[in-house]
Amino acid sequence: SQELEQSPQSLIVQEGKNLTINCTSSKTLYGLYWYKQKYGEGLIFLMMLQKGGEEKSHEKITAKLDEKKQQSSLHITASQPSHAGIYLCGADRGGSEKLVFGKGTKLTVNP
Amino acid sequence: EPEVTQTPSHQVTQMGQEVILRCVPISNHLYFYWYRQILGQKVEFLVSFYNNEISEKSEIFDDQFSVERPDGSNFTLKIRSTKLEDSAMYFCASRRQGAVYGYTFGSGTRLTVV
């Protein structure tokens, strides 16, 4: 089955700092999804990447897909306390309806 | 912004009891899903549903589980005889037709089996 490894597992940054979260797949990526989850709550869709080299941005969050490396990175510029939460990457295998998720990266942003 | 709505937000049930978790997907979505997340663990796929039938299910989705779309708006997950290990957050998700569209998740139902 597809395994997704996220790094780091947790991250504590000062407000205003930039940060990067990585998601590496053991198999070919067909679609890579980034979600944000607040503790005990639902998953908020951030963005989806499908093509190698694709890069998308939403407000101060940018995600890239490196298909050759089977990896995606999520970059937050000038972090704010509102960015705090758990960031999850999910991938589909193509031909399957299910998403496989990584364990998540817990982000804390200190004011 | 359209939402996936789940009820109840929290349910406590006794072991062996049946529970039904309810979801109202986004109205123009055609694909429906249930996922679960045991505390501290990954979000895991349970089942996908399309055109009024199960299209894919995981090993977790055994005979104790069933899904139904009883009318044009609701999508339910039933657990026939709950076990302690069924305690988890259950998420419903839906998606439009077309690979470019992401999955929209609900806020979840926290199921506690005692």
pLDDT band at residue A27 under the 50/70/90 scheme: confident
CB neighbour burial string for B82-114, b if at least 16 within 10 angstroms, e if fewer: beeebbbbbbbbbbeeeeeebbbbbbbbbbebe
- Residue A76: the pLDDT is 97
Does the beta carbon of A34 lie under 8 angstroms from any beta carbon of chain B? no
- Residue B11: the pLDDT is 97
Q: What is the mean pLDDT of chain A?
A: 91
CA distance A79 to A70: 26
Please write the tens of the pLDDT for every residue from A75-106. Answer: 999 999 999 999 999 998 777 778 999 999 99
- Residue B94: the pLDDT is 94
- Residue A74: the pLDDT is 97
- Residue B19: the pLDDT is 98
Q: Which residue of A has its CA nearest to B5?
A: A42
CB-CB contact of A43 with A37 (8 Å): yes
- Residue B1: the pLDDT is 75
Residues of chain B with pLDDT under 70: 99-100
- Residue A1: the pLDDT is 59
- Residue A2: the pLDDT is 61
Does the beta carbon of A41 lie under 8 angstroms from any beta carbon of chain B? yes
Q: B104 and A90: CB-CB below 8 Å?
A: no
- Which member of A50, A99, A102 has the closest CB to residue B103? A99
Please write the tens of the pLDDT for every residue from A35-54. Answer: 999 877 889 999 999 888 88
User: What contacts B37, CB < 8 A, 6 or more positions away?
Assistant: B43, B44, B88, B89, B91, B108
| Tokens encoding B20 | 């039904």
The per-type count for chain B, helices as H runs and strands as E runs, is 0, 11
- Which member of B56, B91, B108 has the closest CB to residue A97? B56
Q: Tokens 């997340």 appear where?
A: B37
Task: Answer with the residue of higher pLDDT: A26 or A2.
Answer: A26
User: 3-state DSSP call for residue A66?
Assistant: strand
Percentage of residues in chain A having pLDDT higher than 70: 98
